[in-house]
């Protein structure tokens, strides 16, 4: 991993919220400023489903098998990761930053990484698999710095 130097951006995300932060100082005393905040409405799976799981015929027999139900809540989280990947790509392409640290829960981090454009992936200097979206900025600064230092 690299250092959290001046101008490095940090994306703190989960399946429903994302903060794009920029370090306006140096690695020793990071000062992360919010550059953009994104919210994605994602009700529980129960609130999104319309019906119970279906059943299908097993051919000529009279047996019927249950069809697994889609996890709409997880599908929305995956869609949000895709939207975040597009946002990162656009910002990289416009030259808004050259370095970014991704902070997200493991599943979201994996989805995000898989959907990032090659040009955006080249700017990723670190990944932290933690959920920090509801932490205050001073705690995010401290945790990100500690994680970056520990992996150096």
Of 27, 14, 21, the closest CA to residue 76 belongs to: 14
What's the pLDDT at 65?
58
The answer as to whether 51 is a domain residue is no
The answer as to whether 140 is a domain residue is yes
Query: Which residues partner with 36 through β-bridges?
Result: 20
What's the pLDDT at 152?
74
User: Structural domain tally of the chain?
Assistant: 1
Q: Token pair for residue 128?
A: 């932290």
pLDDT of residue 67 exceeding 70: no
The answer as to whether 56 is a domain residue is no
CA-to-CA distance for 123 and 142, rounded, in angstroms? 22
Q: Using an 8 Å Cβ cutoff, are 125 and 2 in contact?
A: yes
**CATH number of the domain that residue 111 is part of:** 3.30.420.60
**72-82 per-position pLDDT tens digit:** 666 777 788 89
**Residue span of the structural domain in which 88 resides:** 9-42+69-151
């Amino acid at each position: 991993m690299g250092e959290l130097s001046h101008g490095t951006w940090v994306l703190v995300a989960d399946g429903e919220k994302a903060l794009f932060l920029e370090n306006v100082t140096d690695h020793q005393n990071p000062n992360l400023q919010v550059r953009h905040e994104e919210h994605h409405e994602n009700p529980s799976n129960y609130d999104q489903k319309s019906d119970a799981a279906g059943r299908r015929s097993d051919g000529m027999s009279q047996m019927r098998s249950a069809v697994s139900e889609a996890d709409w809540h997880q599908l929305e989280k995956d869609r949000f990761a895709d939207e975040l990947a597009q946002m990162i790509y656009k910002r990289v392409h416009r030259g808004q930053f050259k370095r970014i640290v991704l902070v997200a829960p493991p599943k979201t981090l994996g989805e995000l990484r898989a959907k990032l454009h090659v040009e955006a992936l080249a700017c990723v200097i670190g990944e932290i698999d933690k959920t920090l979206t509801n932490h205050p900025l001073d705690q995010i600064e401290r945790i990100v710095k500690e994680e970056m230092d520990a992996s150096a």
